Structure 1
Amino acid sequence: MAVDRERVGALVRELLVAIGEDPDRPGLRQTPQRVADAFAEFYAGVGEDATAPLAHTIAVSSGPAPHTMPSGAVMLRDIRFRSMCEHHLLPFAGRAHIAYLPGAQVVGLGALPKVVGILAARPQVQERLGEQIADAIDQALDCRGVLVVLDAVHECVTMRGGTQTVASTVTIAARGALAEPAARAELVGLLGRESG
C-alpha cells in the first residue's frame, strides 16, 4: 500500500497551523510536500512481503561449492538500518547483525539487508523489528537456527525526556538451535571484533 502523499501533505499543513506556525511563510511553504515525500520513503515497507528477498535460494549440495557443506553459522554484520519509532514517530537507527545455521539451502548475502530494509520501513519498535527479521528468515529458509542482534540509537531517548545522547539499545531475537544463550555465545562474541 503506497503512502497517500496528498493526504499526508494536507495533514502536515494542519499540524503546522496547530503548533502556531504559518504554513504559507517562505521557509514552510514546501514542508508539507517534503514531509509527504519523506514519509513515502520511511514507510515504504508497509504491506510489503519481507520474505520475498529470500525466495531465491542456493542448494548447498549443487551450488557454487558443492562439496562444502557449512558446519557453522553464516553471519552478516553491520547492516545499517533506520526506522521510525511508532510511539513518537521519531527515528531510530543502528546496525543489524544476522546469523543463521544453514540447512540444505543458503541465500545470497544481499538478501538479508533487503529483509531488514523492508521491515524497518514501517512504524516499528526495535524489539518487534528483531523478532520479525528472525521470523522472516526462519520461515523462508531451511535453516537450523537464526540469530538477530540489533544495536540502535533512538531519538526519542536522545532528543526528549532524559536526553541520553550516547545511549544505545541492544535487542536479541533467536530461533531454533540458536535460541539457547550458550549456543549463540560464540556468535555474540564475534560481534565485538573489528572487521576487515
Structure 2
Amino acid sequence: MDAIIKHPALRAFDPETKRPTREEAEEAVRTLIAYMGDDPEREGLVDTPKRVVNAYAELYGGYKQDANAILERVFDDVGGYKDIVLVQDIPFFSHCEHHMVPFVGKVHVAYYPSGGVVGLSKIGRVVDVFARRLQTQEHLTESIAEAIDKVLAPRGLAVMIEAEHMCMAMRGIRKSGVSTTTTRFTGLFEDPAEQVRFITLVRGVQR
C-alpha cells in the first residue's frame, strides 16, 4: 500500500535523490533576495536564508507525514451509532502551487460510519497533513476525501472547504474577502438530499 498519498505530479519524484542540500536551498533564498533588488549580506537579511529554510520545513511538513497512519485506529464500540459524524470549522492554512502564497480557511468533514469511528482530532490532523503542501484548493479537497474514504471506507463522505486566496487578495486583481468553496461527496452523500442536510448542518451552526 502506498502509505503517503501524494499529489499526482509527485508520483515519479524521488525526494531522496532529487532534493537539494540545505546549503543549496539557503543559497537559492539569497539569489531571490538579490533578484528582488536587496542585499542578502546586509545585517537584517544575512540570517534570512537560514530562517526561510527553517520556516519552509514547518510550513511544508506535510510531505513527510502519513495520513493513512493517522486514520488507522478506529473505535468500534460506538453503541450502534450509524448517523452522520460532522467535524466542522477545522482551520487550516496552505500555499497555492501557482504562486507559493497562502490560502486560508476552514474545512468541514462529515461521514456515515460503516463500522467504527475515528477519533475526532484525527480528522483535523489529516487536514494539516495535506494542507502543509503545495497545491490548489481543489486538490486539497480531493486529497482529504481520498485519504478518509480509503482508510475508513464510510458509507458516505462529505468534504467542504471554504478559503480566501492571498494570490487573489495580495496580487493580480487584489480583491480581498473573496471566499472560494469546494466540495467532494461520495456514497450516501451523492444523494442531493444528503448534500442539503450536510450543508444545512454546517451553515446552521455557523450562524
From 115, 137, 140, the counterpart of 2:126:
115
In structure 2, what is the Cα distance between the partners aligned to 1:159 and 1:180? 38
Greater helix content:
2
Structure 1 runs of 4+ off > 6 angstroms?
A: none
What does the per-residue CA deviation read over 1:41-89, in whole Å, with 9 as the maximum and x for residues that have no partner? 1111114321211000111xxx2x4xx3223210001101111100000
User: Aligned to 1:153, what secondary structure does the other structure show?
Assistant: strand
- Deviation (angstroms), 1:25: 1.1
Decide whether the 8 Å contact of 1:83 with 1:121 is kept in 2.
Answer: yes
What does the per-residue CA deviation read over 1:126-177, in whole Å, with 9 as the maximum and x for residues that have no partner? 0010011011000000310111100111100100111111101110011111
Which stretch shows the higher mean deviation, 3-12 or 34-43?
Answer: 3-12
Which stretch shows the higher mean deviation, 171-180 or 150-159?
Answer: 171-180
Gaps of 5+ in 1: none
Normalized against structure 2, the TM-score is what? 0.86
In structure 2, the partner of 1:28 is 45
Normalized against structure 1, the TM-score is what? 0.91
The correspondence of residues 1-196 of structure 1 with structure 2, limited to 5 A, is 4-59=21-76, 63=77, 65=78, 68-194=79-205
- Deviation (angstroms), 1:17: 1.2
In structure 1, what is the Cα distance between the partners aligned to 2:172 and 2:158? 32
Q: Which amino acid in 1 is paired with 2:135?
A: Q
Decide whether the 8 Å contact of 1:43 with 1:121 is kept in 2.
Answer: yes
In structure 1, what is the Cα distance between the partners aligned to 2:130 and 2:147? 10
In structure 1, what is the Cα distance between the partners aligned to 2:38 and 2:192? 52
CA RMSD, aligned part only? 1.8
Matched positions, count: 190
Query: What percent identity do the matched residue pairs reach?
Result: 39
